[in-house]
Structure 1
Amino acid sequence: MGRADERRARQRGGRRAAPSNRSSQVAVDEGPTVVGQGRAAARRGGKGGKGGKAAKKSLIRRMFTWKKILGTFLGLCLLGIGAFIVLYMMIDIPAGNADAKLESNVYKYSDGSVMTRDGDVNREIVDLSHVPKDVQKTFVAAENKSFYKDAGVDLKGTARGLLNTLSGKGAQGGSTITQQYVKNYYLTQDQTVTRKLNELVISLKLDREKSKDYILAGYINTSYYGRNAYGIQAAAQAYYRRDADKLTVAQGAYLAALLQAPSQYDWAVATDTGKKLVQARWNYVLDNMVEEGWLGKTERDAMVFPKPLAPKPAPGLGGQKGYLVKAANAALEKQLVAQGVADNAKQAEDMVGRGGWTITLNIDKKKQAALEKSVKDQLTSKLDKKKRTVDGDVQAGAVSVDPKTGAVVAMYGGVDYYKHYYNNATRTDYQPASTFKPVILAAALDESAQTQDGKAITANTLYDGTSKRPVVGSDIGFAPENEDDQDYGNITVQTAMNKSVNSVFAQLGVDVGMDKVLKVADDLGMDTADLKAVPAQTLGTMGASPLQMAGVYATLDNHGKKVTPALVKSVEHISRTVTMPDPVGDQVISREAADTVTSVLTGVVDDGTAKTSVRDNPERDGQKVAGKTGTSDNNKSAWFTGYTPSLVTSVGLFGESAKDGSQVTLTGATGLIPGVGRINGGGYPAQIWADYTFGVQTKVTKFDLETDQGAAVQPTATPTPSQTVSETPSETPTTEEPSETPTTEEPSETPTTEEPTETPTETPTETPTETPTDDTGDPFGGVVGQ
C-alpha cells in the first residue's frame, strides 16, 4: 500500500481502528501490562460513577438554564394574559340582581317625618348628591382608601387586607369598593373561583365604563347595615332617625364601620367586646380620613363617638297607615297613567309595587291623630258587638281638607287596616243622602234657574213642603216622602235646607233641570258619568265617598273654585320624575252661587238638623260653620259634611254586615232603641265632626261671603202657609224639629198620572201609590231623612 493509499485509509476511519488494533496488539504481546491496565480501568470505572452524576447535573443545567426558565415564565404570562383577554371579551357587565334592586316605598307626613314603609326589603335608593361629601369619604376611608385612584381591582389592598387580618388588626376586606359593589349588585356571595374571576373582570370593566361616584353610590345603596336596613338611607333612619342628607361625619363613620360586621357592631345589641371593636373601627375610619386630607385634625379630635338610638319596630300598615298608603298608591298610579309614564293602570301598579318611591302625603300628623281620637271618643268606644250584633256592622269614614290648598290633612279609613281592609274614606258604594241637597241649590243659583211659574230661584223662594207631593214639570212621576212623612206647607228654600225637606228639593231639581244638576255635581267633584238625570237623584241616591263630598264642599268653601282633594303632596324616585296635579283648579260655579250656598248652610247648623251637635257644642266659641246632614233610606248611611273658612271635613257612617259585607241598617247601634234609635247625620257624624274641628281649629274665623242671601247675612223669615206660593215670604219659617222616629209607611212604587197644577194651592188629594225605594240597591228610590 502506498503512502497515498495509507493516507486515504486513515481518512476513512483508520484513526478509530488504529487504537483498537494497538490495544489488541498490546494485549497479546504484553500480558502483564494488560493486568495493570485492568486495574487502572477499574479505577477509571470508579471515577466514572461520579462522572455519571456530573453528567446528570450537566443535563439539568442544560435543560433548566436561566434562559429556558425565563422563557417558560414569559410563555406562561403570555398564556395567562391571553386567557384573561379571552375572559375579558367573553364576560359582560350583567344586569343587576333582582334582589339587589328591591326597595321599599317610604311614606312621609307633610312635615317630612316618616310615617311608614311598605315593601319586602327595607331599602330606599338615594342619589349620591343626597349624601354629604364628607360622609361619602367615610366609606372610602373604611374600605378602600385608594378607591379614587385604583382601576377597580387593587392587588396591594388585597394583600394589605390579608396581612391586617392575619396580624389581628381587624378583618379588613381585601376587595375594593368596586369589587364589593359588583359582588352585591351583579353577582352572589358564593366563594368560588368562577365567581371571583367574574368579579375581577366585571370590576375592571365597570371601573372603565362608570364613574367613581356611580360605583360609590351603588355600593352604599346596596350594602347591608343591620337592623333590616339595606342602603344608607334606611340605615340612617334605623340608627339615627334622620335622612341620609342630614348625617354628620361622625355618624357616617359609624355606619361605614358597621359594614364590616353589622350584627356584631350594632351598639344596641353589641357585647362589650363588640363595642370596643366598633369604636376602634370608628377611630380607624376617621384617622384614615385625616391621613388622606379629607378631615382636619382639630375637627377629628373634637369628635365624640355617636351612639346610635335604640331600634324601633319597623313601621307597619296597622291602624290608619294601611288606608293612607293604599290611597296614596292609587293617587300615584293614576298620575303615572295621566302623565304618560305608564301605559295603563296595571303597569302603573307594577311600577309602584317595585318600590323606590318616596311619597310625601299632605297628612298633618296632629290633625290625623285628632281625627282618630274623635272617632274613638265619639263613636267606636261606644260600640260593643258582644252586646249588640248591630254594633259590629258600624263602619266610619272621614276626610278633612284644607279648602285653600286642597290638601287632605287627615283621613280615617276604618277601625284598623288589618281588621277592615276596605277604606271607608274612599268607598263610593253608599248614598250621600241629603248632603247632596246643597249641590241642587248650587245648580239652581249658578244656572239662574226659575220656578215653574217663571220666578228666579233664591234662598227665599217659597216651595210647597208637603210630604209625598208629586213634582211638577217632569216627564217622570216622582213624589218623595219627607222624613217621618212630615208636612211643612209653604216654606222657603232656606228653611227646606235647614229641615232637609225632600219634597222641596225634588221640585227644585226639576225646576233647574236634572241634567244641569248632574253637570254641576260633576263639576264640583262627584262622579255622575253613569247617572240618569231623573228626579229621584235629588235624594242623593247615587254613590259617593267622604273624599268626594269633602271636595264638593271644599269647592263651595273656596268660593266656587274647583278643589280636588289631594292626599299626595310630592313624589320622588331616583329614575323617574312625577309631578302631582294642582288640587285647586278653575272656577266651576260663580262665587255668588257658592257663597250663597255657604250662607244657606250656616242655617242648617244654627237652626236646623245639626244644631244640637254643632251649634250648641261648648268648644265652638263663636266659630262660623256651614254644613249639611244626611241620612239614607233604611238608615244604611248617616253623614255630616261641614266646614269653616279654613277646614272642610266629611264624616260618614255606613251599615256593613260583619258577616257578608252587605249593606244593613245602623238603627239600634250603640244601644239606641231598635226601630226608634236611628243613627242620624246630626248625631254621631256631627258629633265626630264638631269634636275634631273645634279641637284642631283654635282660631275663630268668619266666612268672607259675596252674597245678600241666606242665613249668614239676613234673618230667616217664616211665611204664613197660604194657598198660593209667592216668591217673598212674609214670616219667619217654623223652627219645629222633625221627629227622630222614621216613618214605617213604605211609599208606593207607581206615582199618580194626574199632573198637579203648576202652582200648588193646596195639599194634593191624590198621592202616589208607591215611591221607589232603595231596598235592593235601586238608585232611583228611597225615603231620605236628615
Structure 2
Amino acid sequence: MGRAEERRARQRGGARRGAPAPATGHRAEGGRADRRKSKDGKGDRGFIRRMFTWKKLLGAFFGVVLVCMGAFVVLYMVIDIPNGNNQAKLQSNTFEYSDGTVMARTGEVNREIVQLADLPQEVQRSFVAAENKSFYTDKGVDLKGTARGLFNTLSGKGKQGGSTITQQYVKNYYLTQDQTVTRKLKELVISLKVERQSSKEEILAGYINTSYYGRGAWGIQAAAQAYYGVDAAKLKPEQGAYLAALLQAPSQYDYSSATETGRKLVTARWNYVLDNMVEMHWLDAGERKDMTFPKPRKPKAASGLTGQEGYLYEAAKAEAIKDLDIPKEKFDAGGYTITLNINRKKQKQLEQSVKDQLTDKLNPKRSETDADVQAGAVSVDPKTGKVLAMYGGRGYTEHYTNNATRSDYQPASTFKPIILAAALADSADTQSGQQIKASTSYDGTSKRPVEEDGKKVGFAPPNEDDQDYGPVTVQTAMNKSINSVFAQMGVDVGMDKVMETAKQLGMDSGDLKPYAAQTLGTMGASPLEMAGVYATLDNHGRKVTPKLLKSVTYGGQDQPLPDAIGGQVLDRGVADSVTSVLTGVVDDGTAKTSVRDNPARAGQQVAGKTGTSDCNRSAWFTGYTPDLVTSVGLFGEAAGKRTLSCDDKKTPVGKGGQVSLSGAAGGGRVNGGAFPAQIWAQYTFNATGSTSKFDLDTDMGAGVKPTTSAPVTPSDTPSQTPSQTPTTKAPSQTPTTPSQEPTTQTPTQTPTTEEPPPTDSPTIELPENPANDRQQQE
C-alpha cells in the first residue's frame, strides 16, 4: 500500500471513530454556502455598511442641498414678477343713489379696489392677526408651510399647509389657484421678489382686495356691502375680524346660512382673531371684552338692472363716459363708483305719480292705443342742476329705450316760451314796429298767413280745432297756446335768433334749422333737455345743464365733473319775464284744470307750458316752482304694426314707429293739459311742500291787461277771411274805458303771481276770450 493510500485509509478510519468529523464537514459546506450568498449580494450587511457610511450620507445630503440651492438660484434668476392676471384686475362698477345706497353693481367680478388708508387700522390688523402674525417682520415666505404644502400636493392630500399673507397675495394676484408643484415654486420665488419691491402696506392692501369672501364678493369693499351693508371704511373692528375669519372657509363660515357646526367654527375663529390682536397690543383688552359677535345680515339678491334702475344706470354710464372722456373699454373694466343725484324719495314719488295718473288707467291687452303709450319724465333742482328723479318707461327689460332721454319726438308748444325769450332778449318788434311784450297784441286768427316785410312767407298754421281768436295779447296767446301768434312772432324775431336762443338754453339734439314751421316745436327734444331749458328760466337766465352724476371715483380718487351751472345766457329780466308769463298758462290757460285747481296744491307758485304735437304723437307738460322743475312727456310708439290714424291714406306704421295717442285710456285726444299735467301735479305737489314765491325782476306776466289801442299792422290785424266764424265778439271800433277785470277768466283761486299792469302799456279793449271749455291749441 502506498503512502497516499495509507493516509487516506487513516483518514477514513478517523472519520468513523471521531464524531465531530461530520460537523466539521457541515461547517465547511455552510461556509461555502455563505460565500455563495455573499457572491449573490444577499444578506451582506457589511457591504451595506461599507456603502452607506455616515460620511457618505452627509455628503449626499449636502450634495442634494447644493443642487436644490443651485436650482433655486436658477429659478430666481429665470422667474420674474409677472403682470397681474386679468381676473384679479377686474372690478365692478358701483352705482349709488345720492344717499349712498347701492343701486346696482355691474361687471363680471363684484370687486371694488379700496386704498388701505381708507380702512380703519383695527380692520387692517385683523387680517394680519388671522392669517400671519409675523407679517410685519417676516420676509414674505414660510418655508415650513411651503414644504408642507409641497408634500401634501405630492402625496395627494390636497390644500393643506400654511402660507404668508404675501404668498396668498401672490397666488391671488399674479398666479392661479391651481395646486401644483410648479405653481408653489413660482409662488415662493415671486413672493421673495415682491417683498423686495413692495411695501408691507401695498402687499396687505393687495391681499385684502383680491381675496374671495363668499356671496360673490371679491375684495373687502364688496364684502362689507354684502355682509353688513356699509362701505369698508365704516367697518367696526368686530366686523373686520369676522371678514378676516371668513377667508379661511367663506361658504362654510357664512353665519347666516352656516350649519350649527359652521357657526361654532367661525365664532371660534373670530375669537381667535381678536385674542391675537389683544396679544399683539393692537386691541385693548377691555374693548375686546365688550365685543359681541357681529352677525351679518341675510344675503340680498344682487341689484339688477330692471325697472327704473336700468334706465338710471344707462343714463349715468353715458354721462360719465361723455363728461370724463373715458374709453368705453376702460369703463367696462370696472373700478368706478358712480354716485347719482337721484333722490330715492322723489324717485318713488315720480314713479307712483305715473302709475296713479297714467299706467293704472291703461289696458294694453285690450287696447292697441294703450299698448302704444310711452311716458318719460325728468325732475331737476334749478339751483344746482341735479337730476333728482327720472322715469324712463315701463321697465328697462320691457322697453330698453329711455323715454326720459330720447329726443325723437316733437316738444310741440313747449317750445313757445323760447320764441318769447328770443323776442324779449333781442327787443324784437312786430311787423308794425311795436316792441314785443306780454301786452303786445297779435292776430290770433287760425291759418292766418305769416308775413315778413309785407310779404307772405308761405306758412299759415291752424290753431287747435281751427279756432279763431281775433286780436289777443301775447299773454293770452301763451295761455291758450295759439299757433298763429307764435308763428308770426318767430318770423318777427328772426328764426335764426330763435334757434340760437334755443341752443343757448340747452336744446342741441334736434334739427334746429331756422325755418318758420319750427315755431310749432317740430324739432326733436327729450324731457331731459326741456327740463334744462325751463330750469334755466327758473334760474333767472343762468344756464342749467341737468346732471345725473353727483360724484365719480376711480381707484379711490375723485374724478372732476363739469359744473351743472353755467354762465348767464339770458338777462335776468328776460328769463323772469318769461316765467311770469308762464304763470298764466297755469292760472288761466291750458293747464289750469290739472294744475291750478289740483286739490293737492298748497299755495305753490307754478309756471309751465303744455304741448301737443301734430297727429297727437306726443303730449307734454313742462313746469316749475321756484324749487323744482319737471318735464313730463307722453309718446305714441307702436307696440306692433299700426296705421297712422290721422292720415286719410292710413299709412302703415311698423313696430316702434310714431303713432297717435288719441283714444288712450278710452278717451279722445291726449293733450298736454291732461295726463302729462296730471302726472306733473301729483308728483310736484307731493315732492315739494315749499310755498316760496318766484323772485321775479320783471313788469310782465299773468294778469297784465293791455289798456291802449295798438296800431294796425299786418301782424296785428285779423285775417279778412277766417277759416271759420270767430266765436268771440267783434272788437269795439272806438276805444273805451278799460275794464277793471282781467281779460282772461278769473281763476277759482288766487293766481300765483299778481303783476301790476305797466303804466306805459297801450290801452285797447280786447274781445272776450273763447269759452274755456273748448280744447285749446297746444
TM-score, normalising length: structure 2: 0.84
Change (3 A) 1:254 1:163: farther
Q: 1:555 maps to what in 2?
A: 536
Separation of aligned partners in 2, 1:272 and 1:192: 34
Asked if residue 694 in structure 1 is aligned to residue 711 in structure 2, the reply is no
* Count of equivalent residues: 696
- Give 3-state SS (helix, strand or coil) of 1:320's partner: helix
Q: Please state how far the C-alpha of 1:74 moved relative to its aligned partner.
A: 2.2
Amino acid at match of 1:640: F
Native 8 Å contact 1:640 1:681 kept in 2: yes
Q: Please state how far the C-alpha of 1:392 moved relative to its aligned partner.
A: 0.4
Aligned residue runs from structure 1 range 415-454, under 5 A = 415-454=394-433
Q: Please state how far the C-alpha of 1:306 moved relative to its aligned partner.
A: 0.7
Please, which of 609, 621, 635 is the counterpart of residue 616 of structure 2?
635
Separation of aligned partners in 2, 1:267 and 1:56: 65
Q: 1:262 maps to what in 2?
A: 250
Q: 1:89 maps to what in 2?
A: 77
Aligned residue runs from structure 1 range 44-443, under 5 A = 63-157=51-145, 174-337=162-325, 342=326, 348-443=327-422
Amino acid at match of 1:312: K
Change (3 A) 1:269 1:528: closer
Separation of aligned partners in 2, 1:522 and 1:73: 86
174-183 or 391-400: which moved more?
174-183
Task: Give the percent of matched residue pairs that are identical in Structure 1 and Structure 2.
Answer: 66
- Give 3-state SS (helix, strand or coil) of 2:227's partner: helix
Q: Please state how far the C-alpha of 1:305 moved relative to its aligned partner.
A: 0.5
Q: Please state how far the C-alpha of 1:730 moved relative to its aligned partner.
A: 2.4
Please, which of 745, 770, 774 is the counterpart of residue 736 of structure 1?
770
Change (3 A) 1:160 1:67: closer
Amino acid at match of 1:106: T
Asked if residue 716 in structure 1 is aligned to residue 705 in structure 2, the reply is yes
Q: Please state how far the C-alpha of 1:291 moved relative to its aligned partner.
A: 1.5
Q: 1:703 maps to what in 2?
A: 694
Separation of aligned partners in 2, 1:407 and 1:364: 10
Separation of aligned partners in 2, 1:108 and 1:631: 36
Amino acid at match of 1:115: M
Query: What does the per-residue CA deviation read over 1:694-731, in whole Å, with 9 as the maximum and x for residues that have no partner?
Result: 101112110001111111xx543488899664972424
Q: 1:513 maps to what in 2?
A: 494
Native 8 Å contact 2:463 2:483 kept in 1: yes
Q: 2:664 maps to what in 1?
A: 669
Native 8 Å contact 1:521 1:528 kept in 2: no
Separation of aligned partners in 2, 1:384 and 1:449: 49
Q: Please state how far the C-alpha of 1:519 moved relative to its aligned partner.
A: 0.5
Asked if residue 538 in structure 1 is aligned to residue 519 in structure 2, the reply is yes
Native 8 Å contact 2:469 2:769 kept in 1: no
Separation of aligned partners in 2, 1:511 and 1:722: 16
Q: Please state how far the C-alpha of 1:62 moved relative to its aligned partner.
A: 5.5
- Give 3-state SS (helix, strand or coil) of 1:262's partner: coil
- Give 3-state SS (helix, strand or coil) of 2:385's partner: coil
Q: 1:654 maps to what in 2?
A: 635
Separation of aligned partners in 2, 1:739 and 1:513: 34
Query: What does the per-residue CA deviation read over 1:557-615, in whole Å, with 9 as the maximum and x for residues that have no partner?
Result: 00000000000010011176521100000000100100000000001100110000110
Native 8 Å contact 2:442 2:471 kept in 1: yes
Native 8 Å contact 1:601 1:628 kept in 2: yes
- Give 3-state SS (helix, strand or coil) of 2:472's partner: strand
Change (3 A) 1:246 1:575: closer
Change (3 A) 1:733 1:605: farther
Separation of aligned partners in 1, 2:266 and 2:174: 29
Native 8 Å contact 1:100 1:184 kept in 2: yes
Separation of aligned partners in 2, 1:119 and 1:292: 39
Query: What does the per-residue CA deviation read over 1:326-362, in whole Å, with 9 as the maximum and x for residues that have no partner?
Result: 000000010232xxxx4xxxxx222221221110000
Q: Please state how far the C-alpha of 1:541 moved relative to its aligned partner.
A: 0.2
Aligned residue runs from structure 1 range 487-636, under 5 A = 487-527=468-508, 530-574=511-555, 578-636=559-617
Separation of aligned partners in 1, 2:150 and 2:71: 26
Query: What does the per-residue CA deviation read over 1:128-163, in whole Å, with 9 as the maximum and x for residues that have no partner?
Result: 122211101111111111112222211345589999
Separation of aligned partners in 2, 1:418 and 1:364: 22
Separation of aligned partners in 2, 1:484 and 1:722: 29
Native 8 Å contact 2:509 2:525 kept in 1: no
Unpaired stretches in structure 2, ≥5 consecutive residues: 15-20, 153-158, 641-654, 718-760
Q: Please state how far the C-alpha of 1:457 moved relative to its aligned partner.
A: 1.4
Amino acid at match of 2:103: M
Native 8 Å contact 1:461 1:729 kept in 2: no
- Give 3-state SS (helix, strand or coil) of 1:400's partner: strand
Q: Please state how far the C-alpha of 1:68 moved relative to its aligned partner.
A: 3.5
Amino acid at match of 1:510: V
- Give 3-state SS (helix, strand or coil) of 2:697's partner: coil
Query: What does the per-residue CA deviation read over 1:675-709, in whole Å, with 9 as the maximum and x for residues that have no partner?
Result: xx111000110011110001011121100011111
- Give 3-state SS (helix, strand or coil) of 2:634's partner: strand
Separation of aligned partners in 2, 1:689 and 1:604: 14
RMSD over aligned CA atoms reads: 3.1
- Give 3-state SS (helix, strand or coil) of 1:265's partner: coil
Separation of aligned partners in 2, 1:623 and 1:173: 71
Amino acid at match of 2:549: V
TM-score, normalising length: structure 1: 0.83
387-396 or 544-553: which moved more?
387-396
Change (3 A) 1:70 1:34: farther
Query: What does the per-residue CA deviation read over 1:102-125, in whole Å, with 9 as the maximum and x for residues that have no partner?
Result: 222111111112122222222222
Separation of aligned partners in 2, 1:685 and 1:509: 26
Change (3 A) 1:734 1:153: farther
Separation of aligned partners in 1, 2:28 and 2:275: 75
Amino acid at match of 1:502: N
Query: What does the per-residue CA deviation read over 1:423-445, in whole Å, with 9 as the maximum and x for residues that have no partner?
Result: 00000000000000000111111
- Give 3-state SS (helix, strand or coil) of 2:218's partner: coil
Separation of aligned partners in 2, 1:719 and 1:141: 89
Q: Please state how far the C-alpha of 1:217 moved relative to its aligned partner.
A: 1.4
- Give 3-state SS (helix, strand or coil) of 1:448's partner: coil
Query: What does the per-residue CA deviation read over 1:499-545, in whole Å, with 9 as the maximum and x for residues that have no partner?
Result: 10111111111111111111110000001685321111110000000
- Give 3-state SS (helix, strand or coil) of 1:491's partner: strand
Separation of aligned partners in 1, 2:705 and 2:277: 79
